[in-house]
A and B are shown apart, each in its own frame.
Chain A
Amino acid sequence: MSLATTQSIAEIRARNKELIEEVLKVYPEKTAKRRAKHLNVHQAGKSDCGVKSNVKSIPGVMTIRGCAYAGSKGVVWGPIKDMVHISHGPVGCGQYSWGSRRNYYVGTTGVDSFVTLQFTSDFQEKDIVFGGDKKLAKILDEIQELFPLNNGITIQSECPIGLIGDDIEAVSRAKSKEYGGKTIVPVRCEGFRGVSQSLGHHIANDAVRDWIFDQPESDSKPRFEPTPYDVAIIGDYNIGGDAWSSRILLEEMGLRVIAQWSGDGSLAELEATPKAKLNILHCYRSMNYISRHMEEKFGIPWCEYNFFGPSKIAESLRKIAGYFDDKIKEGAERVIEKYQPLVNAVVAKYRPRLEGKTVMLYVGGLRPRHVIGAYEDLGMEVIGTGYEFGHNDDYQRTAQHYVKDGTLIYDDVNGYEFERFVEKLQPDLVGSGIKEKYVFQKMGVPFRQMHSWDYSGPYHGYDGFAIFARDMDMAINSPVWKKTKAPWKEASRTKLLAAE
């Protein structure tokens, strides 16, 4: 059992404050001042977590953040399955993000679906020198010829595009006209824009607004009759099938999901979303922009929800049902009741193995807060959390609805800080990304990737909760963690206490 649970809140607060002070000592003065504003100990009753966020990362510190391209191509646009997404610029960006996010979809890849293909303009020096617009025009022609069943094309700008003055909008307009009004979306998500993935989400949202909503209706517009129960799932990327294990609950309660943004999504679904009666928003961070736009322009209300863990799922189902009539409200109760035996069985099986275990999180989007309830449903405690690219409204939501008094908060944490925090707090589990996974496992700390679900999932919904519980159990209770030290050497300073 880790140290945290044996201490009073006051002691925990004091220890965490001391830990922050200690970590800051490594920095040159200027850097220490800047980083101090991103680290804090949460105080109950405060409206936010007391940290600065969404500002530039400091050079040379090993930030874990990505870029605007990652936020647009990698997160928002990439999962739209029937469109071709061109990584426009040099080869690397598209290569490193090729198929790695596990945005599941059903389709005939390479024929009518393109998510796991890497389309790139593979810029060469001459494209930098002479500009890439002609090449882009030719690429669009080649896509039309070789992938004739694509329903649209997006152009995901990499760093050089904005620096060399290419006019991808003009190329897009001209080619769209040439192809009879085909949807071609230029996205200005060059990696140097903004401070993290976050601006890429915003730019991608704006591109949907400008190049899909504001365009004349295309042929691919679905022909279905609206019902009073039409909703759109916004901000679920169907990682490991998350959107599917969410959709099934919504449909079981009597709603009809007319669009998924953007996991297993299609252009037709994006276009039809203004017909929804309610937009339900999972990843607030990456898709609040378009939700707000649809509220303003089309009068569609939106509501945030959380499908991690039974407590939050039930709360969310009721919240969503609150926007509808009694039929749906009864439907929500029916769904909650239907899954209660599964929840009981999962909790009965896993809670005894996980009770009292402590967790430190560092993730992106919604997860630094959203998954806390799921851990608590299993009797676990989150003692530290932080956002890779959160804004203050994320920290407000975190403070007001999720974290406990004394929780260590770290915004845009870097390799050094995160290692020191984990080393000192000795959590039973760290949940973060691929770049962090092996660092902590080397230290003997059980770890789960909480971006990709460590190649498991889904984690959303009731079906997902069973998988989540299984995975956390197998991470923490793997026998390997008792074997990290050779028997002829003394106990490891970092972890063995907790593992015994």
Chain B
Amino acid sequence: MAQSAEHVLDHLELFRGPEYQQMLAKKKIFENPRDPAEVERIKEWTKTSEYREKNFAREALAVNPAKACQPLGAVFASVGFEGTLPFVHGSQGCVAYYRSHLSRHFKEPSSCVSSSMTEDAAVFGGLNNMIDGLANSYNMYKPKMIAVSTTCMAEVIGDDLNAFIKTSKEKGSVPADFDVPFAHTPAFVGSHVTGYDNALKGILEHFWDGKAGTAPKLQRKQNGAINIIGGFDGYTVGNLREIKRILALMDIQYTILADNSEVFDTPTDGEFRMYDGGTTLEDAANAVHAKATISMQQWCTEKTLPFVAEHGQDVVSFNYPVGLSATDDFILALSRISGKEIPEQLARERGRLVDAIADSSAHIHGKKFAIYGDPDLCYGLAAFLLELGAEPTHVLSTNGNKAWHEKMQMLLASSPFGQGCQAYPGRDLWHMRSLLFTEPVDFLIGNTYGKYLERDTGTPLIRIGFPVFDRHHHHRSPLWGYQGGLNVLVKILDKIFDEIDKKTNVLGKTDYSFDIIR
């Protein structure tokens, strides 16, 4: 018996001893397992070009896609408003999933309710669920706003949110003037970034365009402020705080729309804050008067940004700006729109990032990377790698569309380091597996699920993306701004140096290169 009270062995070690290993070997006969030689043969076959061709010929099956569904993005955006409770109309299991998913990434509570529709609602519609649900949520959780979105169940049966909310108010579920913005967020269209877009647009439309016909539309009176939209972002906590710091440094009046940087980073001090921080409802309404709106992620705001532009604002979008050039563009845009000078402090921060790149570039230059993730994140990381002299060989985005593909290819074509690099829209991580076997790279950048690719292909994984479940606290550090660029650079460098050490640490064999200075 290996177990003892002095040194308790858990799953990491317990099963490695002879007792368990013999037990598991004996279990095999009941499994009627495949011939090990055949398993080996197929395993090797999955690494071949022939397999890759069949794999890329898939038309219907998705295996390990790197995307989630719309309502997740809607919930993410909604909690970015002051005192706002996301309310997802449809089956209740979905909400359990969104809450778990967000909590596993942020290591934070995630509050959201469901209208708990079941078979009878599938037949008769979910109006009663909406009426009861809004009343209960309002009384129990005392929100300042309830932001409604939908699961695919409610979308398939065609529930009409606008009419349902109106009826609920007539029935007294919530006061007539209580804010209940809504967005239809079918899971079978787009991905979580689409849901973010729809929910945010729904909220802005509510405040700016007359609260579903119950109030006058706002008349825009332009002021000098700038609105910022972060988009769906696993690093929202660090990133939005960094953006706020930069805006304060530049003395720019601003509103962050859907600012969930506080609610996903509350202190442990004896109090559970179901709501914390967030864009105030007043600010959300007044955002219509801003001079311009900047989206940090184009593909998270494909509907919201045109909606804002229609209201007369200048709009600018970025693609998850990471690194020097992208941050330069962002800072210049801020200065241009606001008319404010760029303070010396930012020039110094920029200089520090240049300094760091210069110090370390020899280790990154010419290295090949595979990247996957949301469309904007992929673009931002690829652009940064190019300016580091690295090659983003495979850039894959399951929720990337044709326009993303074209824009990515243009980016790759624009740099000598992008030659031979390829963007893959709509593909999944099983495709990526084939790419990594047939066209190997030095490093892989992606979310937690990339660890399966790392295990199978031996490509070292640098965790940048969403979700990251198996490493803690990284969402608290920014990837944006010059400081964020430095953080990304360090993440990449740490992995590069770790790999060099791993390859040179065999005593008496390779350790002549096991240098203490690199």
Interface residues of A (CB under 8 A from B): 26-28, 30-31, 56-70, 82, 86, 89-93, 95-100, 104, 106, 108-112, 116-125, 127-128, 135-136, 138-139, 142-143, 145-146, 148-149, 158-160, 162-164, 191-195, 197, 220-224, 240-241, 244-245, 247-248, 251, 257-260, 264, 266, 268-269, 272, 338-339, 342, 345-346, 348-350, 414-416, 419, 433-435, 437-444, 456-458, 462-463, 466-467, 469-470, 484-486, 492-496
Check if B97 sits within 8 Å of A97, measured CB to CB. yes
With A192-B117, A193-B118 already in contact, the answer to whether A258 and B30 are too (CB < 8 A) is: yes
State in angstroms the CA–CA spacing of A251 and B268 once bound together: 46
Nearest residue (CB) in B for A247 is B23
Check if B93 sits within 8 Å of A67, measured CB to CB. yes
Check if A27 sits within 8 Å of B5, measured CB to CB. no
Check if A66 sits within 8 Å of B93, measured CB to CB. yes
Which one of A92, A160, A345, A440 has the highest number of Cβ atoms from chain B below 10 Å of its Cβ? A92
Check if A247 sits within 8 Å of B27, measured CB to CB. yes
Nearest residue (CB) in A for B23 is A248
In addition to A92-B68, A466-B4, 5 A-B residue pairs with Cβ atoms within 8 Å of each other are: A65-B96, A260-B27, A269-B30, A416-B140, A435-B96
Check if B68 sits within 8 Å of A91, measured CB to CB. yes
Check if B121 sits within 8 Å of A160, measured CB to CB. no
Check if A492 sits within 8 Å of B33, measured CB to CB. no
Nearest residue (CB) in B for A347 is B5
Contacts of A346 in B (CB 8 A): 5
With A89-B152, A435-B100 already in contact, the answer to whether A245 and B136 are too (CB < 8 A) is: no
Tell me if B62 counts as interface (CB < 8 A to partner A).
yes
* Size class of the contact patch on chain B: 35 or more
- CB pairs A–B below 8 angstroms (25 shown): A26-B140, A28-B135, A58-B132, A58-B136, A67-B91, A90-B186, A91-B187, A92-B94, A93-B97, A95-B101, A112-B39, A124-B188, A125-B188, A138-B59, A142-B58, A158-B152, A159-B156, A163-B122, A244-B20, A414-B140, A437-B103, A438-B107, A442-B270, A442-B273, A444-B269
Check if A443 sits within 8 Å of B188, measured CB to CB. no
State in angstroms the CA–CA spacing of A196 and B139 once bound together: 24
State in angstroms the CA–CA spacing of A61 and B141 once bound together: 9
Tell me if B104 counts as interface (CB < 8 A to partner A).
yes
Tell me if B111 counts as interface (CB < 8 A to partner A).
yes
State in angstroms the CA–CA spacing of A437 and B63 once bound together: 31
CB under 8 Å from chain A, chain B span 35-84: 38-39, 42-43, 46, 51, 54-55, 58-65, 67-69, 71-72
The answer, among B4, B94, B271, for a CB contact under 8 Å with A191, is: B94
Check if B93 sits within 8 Å of A191, measured CB to CB. yes
Contacts of A57 in B (CB 8 A): 92, 116
Nearest residue (CB) in A for B43 is A111
State in angstroms the CA–CA spacing of A106 and B136 once bound together: 46
State in angstroms the CA–CA spacing of A440 and B110 once bound together: 12
Check if A128 sits within 8 Å of B23, measured CB to CB. no
Contacts of A433 in B (CB 8 A): 100
Nearest residue (CB) in B for A338 is B1
Contacts of B97 in A (CB 8 A): 66, 70, 92-93, 96-97
Tell me if B282 counts as interface (CB < 8 A to partner A).
no
State in angstroms the CA–CA spacing of A453 and B60 once bound together: 36
Contacts of A443 in B (CB 8 A): 270-272
Interface residues of B (CB under 8 A from A): 1-6, 8-11, 14-15, 19-20, 23-24, 26-27, 29-34, 38-39, 42-43, 46, 51, 54-55, 58-65, 67-69, 71-72, 87, 90-94, 96-101, 103-104, 107-119, 121-122, 129-130, 132-137, 139-141, 151-153, 156-157, 186-189, 191, 266-273, 430, 433, 449, 452, 456, 469
Contacts of B100 in A (CB 8 A): 96, 100, 433-435
Shortest distance between the CB of A226 and any CB in chain B (Å): 12
The answer, among A109, A248, A268, A444, for a CB contact under 8 Å with B31, is: A268
Check if A159 sits within 8 Å of B151, measured CB to CB. yes
Contacts of A494 in B (CB 8 A): 270-271
Shortest distance between the CB of A143 and any CB in chain B (Å): 6
Contacts of A486 in B (CB 8 A): 269
Nearest residue (CB) in A for B14 is A463
Nearest residue (CB) in A for B128 is A59
With A92-B71, A96-B101, A139-B61 already in contact, the answer to whether A457 and B10 are too (CB < 8 A) is: yes
State in angstroms the CA–CA spacing of A469 and B5 once bound together: 9
With A28-B139, A338-B1 already in contact, the answer to whether A438 and B60 are too (CB < 8 A) is: no
Contacts of B104 in A (CB 8 A): 100, 434
Contacts of B109 in A (CB 8 A): 435, 438-439, 442
Contacts of B103 in A (CB 8 A): 434-435, 437-438
Check if B38 sits within 8 Å of A149, measured CB to CB. yes
Contacts of B19 in A (CB 8 A): 248
With A146-B54, A442-B273, A467-B10 already in contact, the answer to whether A120 and B93 are too (CB < 8 A) is: no
State in angstroms the CA–CA spacing of A59 and B186 once bound together: 20
Check if B191 sits within 8 Å of A91, measured CB to CB. yes
The answer, among A61, A106, A350, A442, for a CB contact under 8 Å with B24, is: A106
Which one of B92, B93, B136 has the highest number of Cβ atoms from chain A below 10 Å of its Cβ? B93
Contacts of B15 in A (CB 8 A): 241, 244
Check if A345 sits within 8 Å of B4, measured CB to CB. yes
Contacts of A272 in B (CB 8 A): 30
State in angstroms the CA–CA spacing of A273 and B489 once bound together: 55
State in angstroms the CA–CA spacing of A85 and B16 once bound together: 28
Check if B5 sits within 8 Å of A146, measured CB to CB. no
Check if A224 sits within 8 Å of B30, measured CB to CB. yes
Check if B157 sits within 8 Å of A163, measured CB to CB. yes
Shortest distance between the CB of A262 and any CB in chain B (Å): 13
Shortest distance between the CB of A271 and any CB in chain B (Å): 9
Contacts of A62 in B (CB 8 A): 111-114, 137, 140-141
Check if B32 sits within 8 Å of A266, measured CB to CB. yes
Of all A-B residue pairs in the complex, the 4 with the closest CB atoms, nearest first, are A67-B93, A492-B270, A92-B69, A60-B133
Shortest distance between the CB of B27 and any CB in chain A (Å): 7
Check if A191 sits within 8 Å of B188, measured CB to CB. no
Contacts of B71 in A (CB 8 A): 92
Check if B272 sits within 8 Å of A456, measured CB to CB. no
Check if B152 sits within 8 Å of A221, measured CB to CB. no
With A125-B189, A224-B30 already in contact, the answer to whether A59 and B130 are too (CB < 8 A) is: yes
Which one of B60, B94, B129, B133 has the highest number of Cβ atoms from chain A below 10 Å of its Cβ? B60
Nearest residue (CB) in A for B448 is A99
Contacts of A457 in B (CB 8 A): 10-11
State in angstroms the CA–CA spacing of A110 and B429 once bound together: 12
With A59-B114, A467-B10 already in contact, the answer to whether A222 and B29 are too (CB < 8 A) is: yes
State in angstroms the CA–CA spacing of A117 and B433 once bound together: 12
Nearest residue (CB) in A for B28 is A106
Contacts of B9 in A (CB 8 A): 463, 466-467
Contacts of B112 in A (CB 8 A): 62
State in angstroms the CA–CA spacing of A272 and B68 once bound together: 38
State in angstroms the CA–CA spacing of A244 and B96 once bound together: 29
Shortest distance between the CB of B133 and any CB in chain A (Å): 3
State in angstroms the CA–CA spacing of A194 and B117 once bound together: 10
State in angstroms the CA–CA spacing of A151 and B98 once bound together: 32
State in angstroms the CA–CA spacing of A241 and B59 once bound together: 37
Contacts of B118 in A (CB 8 A): 56, 192-195
With A121-B62, A241-B14, A442-B268 already in contact, the answer to whether A349 and B20 are too (CB < 8 A) is: no
Check if A339 sits within 8 Å of B92, measured CB to CB. no
State in angstroms the CA–CA spacing of A93 and B95 once bound together: 10
Contacts of B43 in A (CB 8 A): 108, 111
The answer, among B31, B61, B156, for a CB contact under 8 Å with A266, is: B31
Nearest residue (CB) in B for A344 is B5
Nearest residue (CB) in B for A471 is B10
Check if B11 sits within 8 Å of A458, measured CB to CB. yes
Check if A66 sits within 8 Å of B30, measured CB to CB. no
Check if B187 sits within 8 Å of A92, measured CB to CB. yes
Nearest residue (CB) in A for B122 is A192
The answer, among B24, B42, B65, B119, for a CB contact under 8 Å with A192, is: B119
Nearest residue (CB) in B for A95 is B68
State in angstroms the CA–CA spacing of A159 and B456 once bound together: 33
Contacts of B270 in A (CB 8 A): 442-444, 484-485, 492-496
